Amino acid sequence: MSPDPGPDPSRFGRRLLILCAVAALGLFVLLSALPVPGWDSYETAYAARYGLLLVFFALSLAAARKRLAVIAVELGVWFTAMLVLVVGYGYRFELQDLAVRARAELLPARASETAPGVVTFRRGYDGQFWVDARVDGTNVRFLVDTGASDVVLSREDASRIGYAADRLVYTREAQTANGKVREAPVVVNELQIGSIRLQHVPASVNAGLARESLLGMRVLDRLSSVEIRKDTLTLRE
Instruction: Tell me the pLDDT tens digit for each residue of 11-47.
Output: 666 666 666 666 666 666 655 655 555 555 555 666 6
User: Which residues partner with 151 through β-bridges?
Assistant: 203
Q: What is the pTM for the complete model shown?
A: 0.57
Nearest to 157 by CA among 179, 123, 134, 124: 134
Residue 67 resides in a domain: yes
Are 204 and 218 in contact by the 8 Å Cβ rule? The answer is no
What tens digit of pLDDT does each residue of 121-137 get?
988 888 889 999 999 99
Residue 142, pLDDT score: 93
Q: Is residue 4 included in any domain, yes or no?
A: no
Q: CA triplet 158, 124, 176: central angle to 5 degrees?
A: 50
182-218 pLDDT tens trace: 888 999 999 999 889 999 999 999 887 778 899 988 8
Point out the domain boundary residue: 90, 119, 142: 90
CA distance 182 to 205: 9
Domain coverage including residue 212: 108-236
Structural domains of the chain, count: 2
Q: Are residues 211 and 122 in the same domain?
A: yes
pLDDT of residue 191: 94
Which of 59, 90, 121 represents a domain boundary (last residue)? 90
Same domain for 215 and 122: yes
Residues 157 and 198 in one domain: yes
pLDDT tens profile 78-123: 667 777 777 766 766 665 666 556 555 666 677 788 788 899 998 8
73 and 125: one domain?
no
Distance CA 130, CA 107 (A): 10
Do residue 76 and residue 190 come from a single domain? no
- We report the CATH number of the domain holding residue 133 as 2.40.70.10
